[in-house]
Amino acid sequence: MQNIAEFRIIGRVGKIEIKDKVAFLDIAANYSRKVGEEWEDDPHWNRVTLIGKNAERVDRIGKGDLLHIAGRVRQSSYQREDGERVFHVDLIVERFATLLRSENAREEG
């Protein structure tokens, strides 16, 4: 059996950043939490990485669009000159679908 580390996010696009053949999306997923007697939205931001064909598809999405994203988790580390070990987690998108287009995104472009 193959060992895997996967993620799944359903959330809205915040920021889109494209660098060469790689794209980065900031995605907000909302959770509810109780504050006193009321329930409030508690957005959690995730930065995901798109490469290859997925990066090429980024031009089809806009800020505010609701996406379903799935992919793999890649963890890496390096050692700084001062000896401190730094860990980093990448969320690599393997597939995504637009569930709902934002009205704001249509007006902008």
In tens, the pLDDT along 61-73 reads 999 999 999 999 9
Distance of CA 30 to the CA centre of its chain: 13
How much is the pTM? 0.81
Task: Break the chain into its structural domains and give their ranges.
Answer: 6-103
Q: Give me the sign of the Cα torsion angle 42, 13, 8, 76.
A: negative
The correct CATH number of 6-103 out of 3.50.50.60, 3.40.50.1100, 2.40.50.140, 3.30.565.10 is: 2.40.50.140
Over residues 10-47, the pLDDT tens digits come to 999 999 999 989 999 999 999 888 899 999 989 999 99
What is the rounded average pLDDT of the residues 38-61? 93
CA–CA separation, 98 and 61 (whole Å): 7
Return the closest-CA partner of residue 94 out of 75, 61, 78, 70.
70
